[in-house]
Structure 1
């Protein structure tokens, strides 16, 4: 009898908790705080290759290796695809500018096909790395404004809830694009002596809303490798047209909240 009473009490409590559970208020809060439906993709794209050095240079000088900013692991052979803190990668003191430091990092791994982005050639990697510095520079301007006029605690609570606001979902998608392009793109692949190989530049510069209905990309979305001026001009256009004026704010909002709140 006692067990029956306890069972019914537990069931009643469970029902009460389900009924009393508050609705997810974060979409409305983020929208009020200036974020759009592009927030998950913009943030995931902006953080996927950050390092401690980048965070220190553009955003906050006292950032450490315990920074809670998730990134895609540049070591493509490591079983851990996503790192849950941006890594602290040693910088060669020979170089003083971000441009040369970035170039040094890329060229120092140029013979390693299992580093950075699979199937990229060296020029692809250089362009991608420098493009990310453009993204971080733009976000740093908005970040400085947030330091002077911080967002509310509720906005930061929702911005940093990356398991539920879509950021981790898109970051996992980017990790798949970076590490396993063969799986990401639904493309017919020719067999050659029993081996399978896919070659192409990774993806067009585009961003995603919260809903990702088709994780597999269409082959038409893949840019060719940068091997001549014509391809570069096309990719340059893709980069310029994919970014909206307010995009810098959304990445800055997440980084401010993650690094300060």
Structure 2
């Protein structure tokens, strides 16, 4: 089953990257609507771990499980790598803040290596979860502005055409990166007493600055796991420098169009 999942992901990615999309007016429309060439990666990064609870808290209170927001399946052993609706994951009512809810979700699966992001340690997962809440908070500010001044129907048509605007291509790449990092990176291994070990944090917070047609990342660029202050300070700098103020608007644009139009 594991090999079958990987095969289908790779085939889907190959098809979307090799079959040229028909000419359309969407690139110009999206640019006029305020989107940049970073749009596909920004959106894919911003939605890949969303849940119904997150959508309700940050964007739209009446969101249901039929929300049309695709995400990467956190169950890494499930045969469906990409969910075509953000999942409705139960929230422990004892926690009122998104931070504690995110922490509870991570720690409630901390002994499961096949949940969330493969190869991550618990602290890596906590940082990733809280980083995503930071992303959604920023986008929620821009989303509120779009509620008052909505984009045009043409802009929304193009923003939500994820099969042709690059969003699904990047989301499939993210699915492969979090599910099968050893296939996405020419990673180096260490042999200790006959056992193979790997130590690396494969999430670089740079999904949105990478072109799909560029070579896969060199393993030397991989962050180490967060095990001390020095590594955290480097990773924090990496996160902050890879994000631009305008990024919040582009994610909000997609979410507004997907949830309201």
Give the corresponding residue for 1:112. 112
| Cα shift readout 1:23-47 (whole Å, capped 9, x = no counterpart) | 4100000000000000000000000
| 3-state secondary structure, aligned to 1:15 | helix
Answer whether contact 2:30 2:159 (CA < 8 A) is retained. Answer: yes
Report Cα offsets for 1:91-118 as digits up to 9, x if no partner. Answer: 0001111111111110000000000000
Which residue in the other structure is 1:41 paired with?
A: 41
- Between 1:38-47 and 1:95-104, the stretch displaced more is 95-104
RMSD (CA atoms): 9.4
Relative distance call for 1:140 and 1:218 in structure 2 (3 A) is: same
**CA apart distance, 1:200:** 1.0
Which secondary structure does the structure 2 equivalent of 1:8 belong to? Answer: helix
What is the CA–CA distance in structure 1 between the aligned matches of 2:253 and 2:219, rounded to whole Å?
A: 33
CA contact (8 A) 1:38 1:207 kept: no
Residues 155-203 of structure 1 deviation map (CA, whole Å, 9 limit, x = unaligned)? 0000000000000000000111100111111123346677655331013
Structure 1: runs of 5+ lacking an equivalent: none
Range 12-21 or range 195-204, more displaced: 12-21
**C-alpha distance in 1, partners of 2:17/2:171?**
32
Name which of structure 1's ranges 51-60 and 193-202 shifts more when overlaid on structure 2. Answer: 193-202
For the structure 1 residues 145 and 5, does the alpha-carbon distance in structure 2 shift closer, same or farther, using more than 3 Å as the test?
closer
| Whole-angstrom distance in 2 between the partners of 1:3 and 1:105 | 27
Instruction: Give SS of 2:50's match.
Output: coil
Q: What count of residue pairs does the alignment treat as equivalent?
A: 261
Q: CA 1:107–1:16 in 2, change beyond 3 Å: closer, same or farther? A: closer
Residues 192/216 of structure 1: CA separation in 2 closer, same or farther (3 Å cut): farther
Q: 1:24 to 1:211 in 2, by over 3 A?
A: farther
CA contact (8 A) 2:38 2:208 kept: yes
Q: Deviation of residue 213 (structure 1)?
A: 1.8
Please give the alpha-carbon distance, in whole angstroms, between the structure 1 residues aligned to 2:226 and 2:7.
Answer: 66
| 1:220 to partner: Cα distance | 2.1
Counterpart residue number, 1:239: 239
Change (3 A) 1:6 1:213: closer
Instruction: Using the TM superposition, name which of 152-161 and 15-24 deviates more.
Output: 15-24
Q: Pick closer, same or farther for the CA change 1:111–1:16 going to 2, 3 Å.
A: closer
Length-normalised TM-score, structure 2: 0.88
Could you report, residue by residue, the CA deviation over 1:128-178 in whole angstroms, capped at 9, with x for unpaired residues? 000000000000000000000000000000000000000000000011110
Residues 224 and 11 of structure 1, relative CA distance in 2, 3 Å threshold: closer
